[in-house]
Amino acid sequence: MTQHPSPSHSTAATLTLTEKASLTSGAGDFVTEAIGAVPAVSMSDGPHGLRLPKEAGDGGQLDLHSAAPATCFPPAVALGSSWDVALAEQVAGAIAAEARDNGVHVVLGPGINIKRSPLCGRNFEYFSEDPLLTAELGGAMVRGMQRSGVGAALKHFAANNQESDRMRVSADIDERPLREIYLRAFERIVRRDRPWSVMSAYNALNGTPLSENRRLLTDILRREWGFDGIVMSDWGAVRDRVAALTAGLDLQMPTTRGRTDAEVVQAVKNGELAAEQLDASVERLARFAHRATAGLSAPADPLDYEAHHDLARRAAERCIVLLKNEQDLLPLDPAAGSLAVIGELARTPRYQGAGSSQVTPTQLDTPLDALRDLAGDAVVEYAAGYRIGGEPDEELLVEAARLAAASDTVVLFLGLPAQDESEGFDRDHIDLPAAQPALLERILEANPRTAVVLSNGGVVRTAPWHERVPALVEGWLLGQGGGTALARILYGHAAPSGRLAETIPLRLEDAPSHLSFPGEEGHVRYGEGVFVGYRGHDRRANDVAFPFGHGLTYTTFAYGDLTVTQTPADRIEARLTVTNTGPRTGRETVQLYVSAPEDSRVARPVRELRGFAQIDLEPGQSRTVTITFDRADLAYYSEREAGWFVEGGTYSVAAGASSRDIRCTAPLTVDGDVSTARLTGRSTLGEWLAHPVGGPLLLEAFAAGRAQQGGGAAGALADPVLRRFLTGMPLEVIAEFPQSPVPLSHLDALCERAARTPSD
C-alpha cells in the first residue's frame, strides 16, 4: 500500500492555479483528482451497502445498473425502526470493511433528511420524522464507518425533504423549524461524530441554492458547529461554481471535464473569486484526501461476506415492527397445522428502494423459502394472489382465496411495487396497489386467521383494513437478509423489537405537511413549522393508525418509579424501573418525551423525544433504566434571542412505550436562560413584565408613577381583562396614554437601565 506524505500546511503553495481549480472538482464520476502530493479519493454510494460502480478506482464510465455485488443491509427506513444505535454502528462498520475491500475511501451516506411528508419518494433512504432519533442512528453510522478508516458523507445538507423539483425547488423555512427540525440532526452529528465530509443538497433554502449557500456552508456548518471536513456537492448540484466556492463548497461532483475548472481560473484572474477562498478549499481537500487514503493503508483482515449476510439478517430482525397481534396469532406455531403463504412479495421480495442507493446484493433470502425452512413438518403452500404492479386478476384471487380457506393460518404479503417509490419523484398517494386490498378482502373472508406482512419504503395507509386483520407486521424494506428475518420473527425464533420511526396516519390528508407539499412554482413553504410528524399529529389531536414509537413484541412490560433530576453538569437524568411481565424474553425501547411548561412563550409540540434506551429482559426480570440528556436540549430556537433558549419553569418528563403510550411522568423544574434580547419601546407590556430585569424595573416605574398620578394605566393592571388587553401593546403606545405612569419621555432611560442592569 502506498504511503502518502502527511498533509503539508500549505498544499496550495505547491500547486498552480490550474491545479488548484482542478483539485476542487471530481476527476470522474466517483473519484477526485490526484495532484501533486494530494492523492485521489474514491467514493461510492451508500448508504445501506456499497453501490460499486464499475468505474470505482479506474475513472471509467458510470453504469447505474451493473454495480458489483456487495452486502445489501437494511435501508435507513428499516434501520431507523430498530432504534438500535449499536446495531447501526456495527452495520456501518461492515459497510466500511467492504469499502476497504474494494478500495473505496468514502461512502456517500448516511442520509439524514427528515421525513417531512409520507409522500417523499426517498423516505426509504431516511431514518425518521424525528431529529433526535435521526441523529442517534445517523451518528452511529458515521462513527461505524470512520472508526474503520472509511469516511462518511453526511447528506443531503439540508432541507432536502422531497424529490419533486428537487434540483430547483426552494424550501422556504422559518428559522425555528429550520434549527429545531431540519438542521438539528446535522448539528448533533457534526459536533459529536465529526464526519469527514458533508454533501450539499440539490435544492435551495429560502431562495439560495444549498451549493451556493454561504450562511449554511460557512456561517452555520463551519463557524457555528466547528465542521472541519469538506463540503462536496450532490451530483450535478452546482450551477455556479464560483459562487459555490465563495460560499464554502470545496468539491464539485462529478467531473465537468474541465469546463468549470476553467471558470474558476478565470474568476481568480479577474478578481471575482478571492485566491484565498480557493486556497482554503484546497487545504481542506488535501487534508481530507490524506485522511481518507490513510484509512485504507492499514492492512485489513480478509472479508467474510457470509458473516456480513448474517449481520444483514440479524439487523433486519431488529427492524421489523409488530404493529398488531390479537389472539396471539403470532408467533406461528409449526405444530398448529398448515400455512398458506400468499402474495407475490413473499416469493419476489422488495428489499431496497430505487435510485443511487441501489446495491447488487451478494445473495437474497426470500420470505417464502425461509418460512418453508422453519416450518418443520407443517405444510406450507403458496399462492401469488397478485402480480407486482399489476391490476386485480380474478384467477389469482380465486386461487389464493381457495388456498386460504384450505389452510389453518395465512400469512399475506402486501406492499408497494418498485415503480411506486424511488429517488427522483414523490408518490401521490399512500395506498396499496388496487389489486392488494381486493385480495385482502377475499383472504379475510376465506380465513380470518390472517397475518399481514408489509413491504414498503414509504408509509402505506393501513386504515381501515387493519382493524379487521388480527396480526400486522411492518417489514419495510429489509435488505438481503430480510426474508429469513421475517420468517424468524413470524415463527418466534426472534422476538420483534422494532418501533415506528414515523407515524402511520389514518389518511394522507392528516399529515401535517399536507397542505404545503410539494409546493408550486419553485417554492415549497414549510407551513407546518416545527409541527412535523408526531409533533403535528399530537398538537392537532389527530387519531392515527399507529403512532410514532409504537411496536409490540411477544411479551409485555410494566414501567414504574420514574424520577428525574438535574445533575450539577447540567444533564437531566431520568431513572425508572422496567419489568418484563409476560411469558417470553423481549426487548423494550423506553422512550423519554418532554413537554414544555404550559405557559411557554412559543407554540410547542405536545411532547418531543429527548432520549431512549433499549433493554433485554427475561420473563419476570426487572431492571433500572437511566436515560440522560442535556439541559440545553430543553431549548427552543428563538429568533428574538437569535439562538437556543431554555425557558424556565416546570417541564413534564414522560417515559413511554410510544409517543401515545405514556406510562409514567415526573415534573422537572429548571431555571431559564437569561434573555439577551434588548427591551425597547416596541417591546410589549407582556414582554417587559416577563423579562427578569425589565419586569421589576417597569413595575418599580409604574409604582412611582402611580404614586404621583394616582391610577391611570398602572391601576389598569389590577383589572384582569384590561391587563390582558394591554399585555400585547408595545410599551411606547401605552406610554402615550394620558396619565401614563411611564411617560414617553422616560422610556429611553428605562430601556437603557433594563439593558445595563444585570440579572442575578
Nearest distance, CB of residue 499 and ligand BGC, angstroms: 26
Task: Answer yes or no: are the C-beta atoms of 670 and 634 closer than 8 Å.
Answer: yes
- For the chain, the C-alpha Rg in angstroms (whole number) is 29
Among 25, 81, 356, 484, binds ligand BGC (CB under 6 A): 356
For ligand BGC, the closer of residues 84 and 234 by Cβ is 234
Reading the block at residue 193, the C-alpha cell is 461524530
For ligand BGC, the closer of residues 212 and 234 by Cβ is 234
For ligand BGC, the closer of residues 235 and 413 by Cβ is 235
Nearest distance, CB of residue 484 and ligand BGC, angstroms: 29
Reading the block at residue 669, the C-alpha cell is 423544574
Nearest distance, CB of residue 17 and ligand BGC, angstroms: 28
Task: Answer yes or no: are the C-beta atoms of 242 and 211 closer than 8 Å.
Answer: no
Reading the block at residue 652, the C-alpha cell is 413534564
Q: What is the dihedral of CA 707, 711, 712, 714, to 10 degrees?
A: 70
Among 97, 108, 133, 453, binds ligand BGC (CB under 6 A): 108
For ligand BGC, the closer of residues 62 and 463 by Cβ is 62
Nearest distance, CB of residue 189 and ligand BGC, angstroms: 16
Q: Among residue numbers 146 through 165, which ones bind ligand BGC (CB under 6 A)?
A: 155
Instruction: DSSP letter for 142, please.
Output: H
Count CB-CB contacts under 10 A for residue 621: 13
Strands 586-595 and 649-658: antiparallel
Nearest distance, CB of residue 219 and ligand BGC, angstroms: 24
Nearest distance, CB of residue 231 and ligand BGC, angstroms: 14
Q: How many CA atoms lie within 13 A of 671 on its CB side?
A: 7
Nearest distance, CB of residue 148 and ligand BGC, angstroms: 19
Rounded distance, CA 630 to CA 616, Å?
25
Count CB-CB contacts under 10 A for residue 197: 25
Rounded distance, CA 465 to CA 442, Å?
12
DSSP 441-478: HHHHHH-S-EEEEEE-SS----TTGGGG-SEEEE----
Strands 204-205 and 208-209: antiparallel
Among 83, 127, 235, 425, binds ligand BGC (CB under 6 A): 235
Nearest distance, CB of residue 115 and ligand BGC, angstroms: 16
CA quadruple 659, 662, 664, 667: dihedral sign: positive
Among 45, 55, 365, 420, binds ligand BGC (CB under 6 A): 45
Distances (CA, A) of 12 to 5, 21, 749: 15, 10, 55
Nearest to ligand BGC by Cβ — which residue?
356
For ligand BGC, the closer of residues 108 and 265 by Cβ is 108
Nearest distance, CB of residue 275 and ligand BGC, angstroms: 30
| 46 is an interface residue for ligand BGC by CB under 6 A | yes
Which positions ≥6 away from 710 have C-beta within 8 Å? none
Nearest distance, CB of residue 352 and ligand BGC, angstroms: 14
| 420 is an interface residue for ligand BGC by CB under 6 A | no
Distances (CA, A) of 625 to 83, 326, 614, 652: 16, 29, 9, 18
Give helix 394-406 / helix 435-446 axis angle, nearest 10°. Answer: 30
Q: How many residues does the chain have?
A: 760
Has 234 been annotated as catalytic?
yes
Instruction: DSSP letter for 433, please.
Output: P
Closest CA to 122 of 45, 66, 184, 183: 45
Task: Answer yes or no: are the C-beta atoms of 371 and 80 closer than 8 Å.
Answer: no
CA quadruple 399, 402, 404, 406: dihedral sign: negative
Rounded distance, CA 28 to CA 555, Å?
53
The one-letter code for the residue type at 29 is: D
For ligand BGC, the closer of residues 229 and 549 by Cβ is 229
Task: Answer yes or no: are the C-beta atoms of 597 and 670 closer than 8 Å.
Answer: no
Task: Answer yes or no: are the C-beta atoms of 461 and 415 closer than 8 Å.
Answer: no
Nearest distance, CB of residue 76 and ligand BGC, angstroms: 12
Task: Answer yes or no: are the C-beta atoms of 461 and 545 closer than 8 Å.
Answer: yes
DSSP 483-500: HHHHHHHHTTSS------
For ligand BGC, the closer of residues 95 and 495 by Cβ is 95
Closest CA to 357 of 479, 249, 254: 479
> Which of 84, 130, 193, 234 does the annotation list as catalytic?
234
Nearest distance, CB of residue 55 and ligand BGC, angstroms: 12
For ligand BGC, the closer of residues 45 and 421 by Cβ is 45
**Binding-site size, ligand BGC (CB under 6 A):** 7
For ligand BGC, the closer of residues 254 and 385 by Cβ is 254
Rounded distance, CA 357 to CA 53, Å?
11
Among 165, 234, 283, 426, binds ligand BGC (CB under 6 A): 234
Rounded distance, CA 417 to CA 541, Å?
32
For ligand BGC, the closer of residues 122 and 318 by Cβ is 122
Instruction: DSSP letter for 389, please.
Output: T
For ligand BGC, the closer of residues 102 and 579 by Cβ is 102
Give helix 744-756 / helix 694-709 axis angle, nearest 10°. Answer: 150
Residues that bind ligand BGC (CB under 6 A): 45-46, 108, 155, 234-235, 356
Catalytic residues, which ones?
234
